[in-house]
Chains A and B, each alone.
Chain A
Amino acid sequence: MARLTAGIASSHVPLLGVGIDQGKTEEDYFKPIYAGYDWTREWITQPDNKPDVVILVYNDHASAFDMNLIPTFAIGCADEFQPADEGWGPRPVPTVKNDADFAWHVAQSLILDEFDMTIINDMDVDHGLTVPLSLMFGQPAEWPAKIVPLAVNVVTYPVPSGNRCWMLGEAIARAVESYPEDLNVQVWGTGGMSHQIQGPRAGLINQEWDQRFLDDLTKDPQRLRKLPHIEYLRETGSEGIEMVMWLIMRGALGDNVRELHRHYHVPASNTAVGHVVLENC
C-alpha cells in the first residue's frame, strides 16, 4: 500500500530559481535563504525519507493557464511536463516526470470523493512547481522522485477556501491509502508566505502573522482551516493568499504532526520565505 509519510511546505519565489540556476547561492543576499534548506536536502536523501512520489501543490502564474481557463483544482496526469518559458526562457532544470498510474488513481479517487478535479495532460510547469524541487533536491540530472502536479487557482477570486483546501488534503490522503503499490508519498504545499506584488501597498510583510501560522500548523491547525480570505489579504498581502495551498498539505496529514524543521527569512525579492517539514506522529 502507498504511504503518506511527510508534508513539506515552502515558498516558491522565482528569484530563488534564478539564484540556483545562475550559481549565486553563496552570495550574501542568497546565502541565508538557501541555508535554511540544507537540513531538508540532507534529510530527504535518507532511505526512509526519500519519496517515490510527491504530490506537489502549487499555483500556475499565467504560464499554462491564461484567462481562458481558470480551473480551481487541476491535476496533471500525463507522463511528463516541461519547465515553462515564463518570458525569459525555460529554467535549465530536468523534465518533470509523473507517475501517471498513480496520478490517474488519485484523480479518480478525488472525483469519486466529490472533488470535481480538472484533469490536464498537456501542460508546462512554471516556477511555482520547479523552484520547490530545486530547493529540496538541488541540481540533479534527473529529479529523484516522480511528481504529480496539483495546480490551485489562487489568482482569480473567489479562490478556494482554506477549509476546502484542507478537505482536499484529507481526500488526497484517502486516495494515497487506497493505492495498492508500495510507495512512499509526500505532499508538498507551496507559495507564500506574506507578500504583495501589486499596488501602492506592495512590499507588505507580516512576520508575526507568518510565524503564528507556522506555529499553528502543529499547535492549532483547526484555527488555520477557518481563516477567511480577507484575513490573508489584509494581514499578509494580496499574494499571501497562496498559503491556503499549505492547508492542502496539512489536511493530508493526520491530527497530530511533528515539526521536523523550520526556516523563515525576509526578504527574497518581495517575499517572506517560509519552509517547514512535518511528519505524522
Chain B
Amino acid sequence: MADRVSEYLAAFDDIPGTRVYTTKRARQGYWLNQFCMSLMKAENRKRWLADERAYLQDWRMTDEQKDAVLARDYNRLLDLGGNIYFLAKLFSTDGLSFVQAVSTMTGMSEDEYKAMMMAGGRSPQGVRSIKEGN
C-alpha cells in the first residue's frame, strides 16, 4: 500500500522559504513551544525579562533552541520546531507586532517589508515550487 503520509508530507519541502508545521516539527519543538506559551502569563513575562538565561534553565529545550531564542533568530527557531503562533508570545513580550517580527525572517528591513505589503504583498510568481521554479 502506498504511504499516504510520506507522499503528503514530501510536497511540503518543495515550497521555497516555508516551513510547514508538521508533526515532526511539533515533536522537535514541543518544549520550545511550551516555553513560549508560558509567556502568556504576566508573572512569567516579568521573570523572563529579568533574566532570560535563568528562565530558560527550567525548560527541557536543546542548547541550539535556547541560543536561537536568546538571539531572536526566528527562521532558526522555525527550523528547530518552533511554530509562529507560539513564537508570537516571545516577540509580543519584546513589544514587536506581527509585521515587525515577520519582516525579520524575510531579509528585508521593516520599512521595505511594509512597503511591499502596501504595494500588494509578495507575488507567488517564482516561489510556488523549488522543483518547478515557478
Cross-chain contact of B117 among A61, A236, A267 (Cβ < 8 A): A267
Q: Identify which of A63, A87, A266 gathers the most chain B CB atoms within 10 Å of its CB.
A: A87
Interface of A is mostly: loop
> Using a Cβ–Cβ cut-off of 8 Å, how many residues does chain A contribute to the interface with B?
44
Q: A208's closest neighbor in chain B, by CB?
A: B124
Q: A29's closest neighbor in chain B, by CB?
A: B118
- Is A197's CB under 8 angstroms from B98's CB? yes
Interface string of B23-47 (1 = CB under 8 A from A): 1001001100110110110000100
Q: B86's closest neighbor in chain A, by CB?
A: A62
Cross-chain contact of B19 among A199, A204, A236 (Cβ < 8 A): A199
- Is B15's CB under 8 angstroms from A233's CB? yes
Interface string of A206-223 (1 = CB under 8 A from B): 110100000000000000
Judge if A5 is at the interface, Cβ distance under 8 Å: no
Q: B40's closest neighbor in chain A, by CB?
A: A87
Given A156-B22, A206-B123: 10 more A-B contacts, CB < 8 Å: A15-B98, A66-B37, A68-B34, A87-B40, A157-B9, A157-B20, A200-B75, A205-B120, A234-B129, A269-B99
Judge if A196 is at the interface, Cβ distance under 8 Å: yes
Shortest CB-to-CB span from A20 to chain B, Å, is 16
- Is A198's CB under 8 angstroms from B105's CB? yes
CA distance A237 to B124 in the complex (A): 8
| A171-188 CB contacts (< 8 Å) to partner B | none
Judge if B109 is at the interface, Cβ distance under 8 Å: no
Cβ contacts A to B, 16 pairs, < 8 Å: A67-B34, A67-B83, A87-B39, A87-B45, A87-B88, A158-B8, A198-B105, A199-B17, A201-B16, A201-B106, A201-B127, A205-B123, A207-B120, A236-B124, A238-B19, A267-B117
| Contacting residues, chain A, for B80 (C-beta < 8 A) | none
Shortest CB-to-CB span from A110 to chain B, Å, is 25
Interface string of A65-79 (1 = CB under 8 A from B): 011101000000000
| Contact A205 to B40, CB < 8 A, known contacts A87-B88, A196-B18, A234-B15 | no
| Contacting residues, chain B, for A19 (C-beta < 8 A) | none
| Contacting residues, chain A, for B12 (C-beta < 8 A) | 157, 230, 233
| Contact A200 to B105, CB < 8 A, known contacts A62-B83, A62-B89, A235-B128 | yes
Shortest CB-to-CB span from A58 to chain B, Å, is 13
- Is B83's CB under 8 angstroms from A233's CB? no
| Contacting residues, chain B, for A267 (C-beta < 8 A) | 117-118, 120-121
- Is A238's CB under 8 angstroms from B20's CB? yes
CA distance A156 to B75 in the complex (A): 18
Cross-chain contact of B18 among A198, A205, A272 (Cβ < 8 A): A198
| Contacting residues, chain B, for A158 (C-beta < 8 A) | 8
The 8 closest A-B pairs by CB, nearest first: A205-B121, A201-B17, A200-B17, A87-B92, A62-B85, A203-B122, A267-B117, A198-B84
CA distance A157 to B83 in the complex (A): 12
| Contacting residues, chain A, for B36 (C-beta < 8 A) | 62
CA distance A267 to B113 in the complex (A): 12
Shortest CB-to-CB span from A125 to chain B, Å, is 14
Shortest CB-to-CB span from A56 to chain B, Å, is 19
Shortest CB-to-CB span from A173 to chain B, Å, is 29
| Contact A200 to B88, CB < 8 A, known contacts A15-B98, A67-B26, A155-B21 | no
CA distance A204 to B88 in the complex (A): 19
Q: Identify which of A15, A198, A238 gathers the most chain B CB atoms within 10 Å of its CB.
A: A198
Shortest CB-to-CB span from A14 to chain B, Å, is 7
| Contact A62 to B33, CB < 8 A, known contacts A199-B17, A201-B16, A266-B121 | yes
Cross-chain contact of A85 among B9, B33, B40, B88 (Cβ < 8 A): B40
